[in-house]
């Protein structure tokens, strides 16, 4: 019994250390190229753009890896989906891909859900069929292409017809 408890405590400590390192990676000044920052999403501007607040400063974030659909219904569904994820000023993380200027950047966007963990908003928008994967862009293990393929096979969202 003591060995089992000890294993669980080690796992909890490891998880806490990894989470701390993930969050602390963004403790410095704004830098681009993979730096992670913790803040909140203030508002949803459109399907691929949100206002992210970090240390009191509002930054326009363009969600990396997605192409907006011309389907207005899908776009409205995507906006409602993002808004449902950010209700109550829940914590969010960004992983910077490209800095456009001092008030705008392209980034992977995550919300931190206590039950589901970190939710990658761009990946989920593709998985639910609201948007397409950006041509020539994917993550290391091809998650965006897999999500788009699953949405097409399931004929959901923009792939319904």
Q: Whole-model pTM?
A: 0.75
Fold of domain 29-159:
OB fold (Dihydrolipoamide Acetyltransferase, E2P) (2.40.50)
Mean pLDDT of the chain: 80
Instruction: Kindly report, residue by residue over 64-106, the tens digit of the pLDDT.
Output: 999 888 888 888 989 999 998 887 778 899 998 888 776 788 8
Residue 134 exposure: Cα atoms within 13 Å on the Cβ side: 15
Q: Which residue has the higher pLDDT, 115 or 33?
A: 115
Strongest mean pLDDT among 16-20, 28-32, 115-119: 115-119
What per-residue confidence (pLDDT) applies to 3? 52
The residue extents of the domains of the chain are 29-159
Position 17 scores a pLDDT of 55
The answer to whether residue 6 scores a pLDDT higher than 60 is: no
């Amino acid at each position: 019994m003591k060995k089992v408890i000890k294993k669980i405590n080690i796992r909890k400590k490891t998880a806490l250390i990894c989470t701390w390192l993930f969050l602390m990676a963004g403790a410095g000044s704004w830098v681009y190229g993979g730096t992670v920052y913790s803040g909140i999403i203030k508002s949803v501007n459109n399907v691929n753009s949100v206002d992210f607040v970090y240390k009191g400063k509002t930054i326009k974030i363009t969600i990396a890896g997605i192409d907006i659909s011309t389907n207005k219904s899908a776009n409205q569904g995507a906006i409602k989906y993002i808004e449902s994820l950010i209700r109550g000023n829940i914590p969010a993380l960004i992983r910077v891909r490209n800095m456009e200027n001092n008030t705008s950047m392209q980034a992977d966007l995550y919300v931190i859900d206590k039950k589901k963990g970190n939710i990658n908003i761009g990946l989920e928008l593709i998985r639910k069929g609201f948007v397409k994967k950006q041509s020539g862009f994917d993550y290391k293990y091809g998650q965006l292409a897999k999500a788009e393929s699953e949405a097409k096979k399931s004929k959901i969202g923009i792939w319904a017809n």
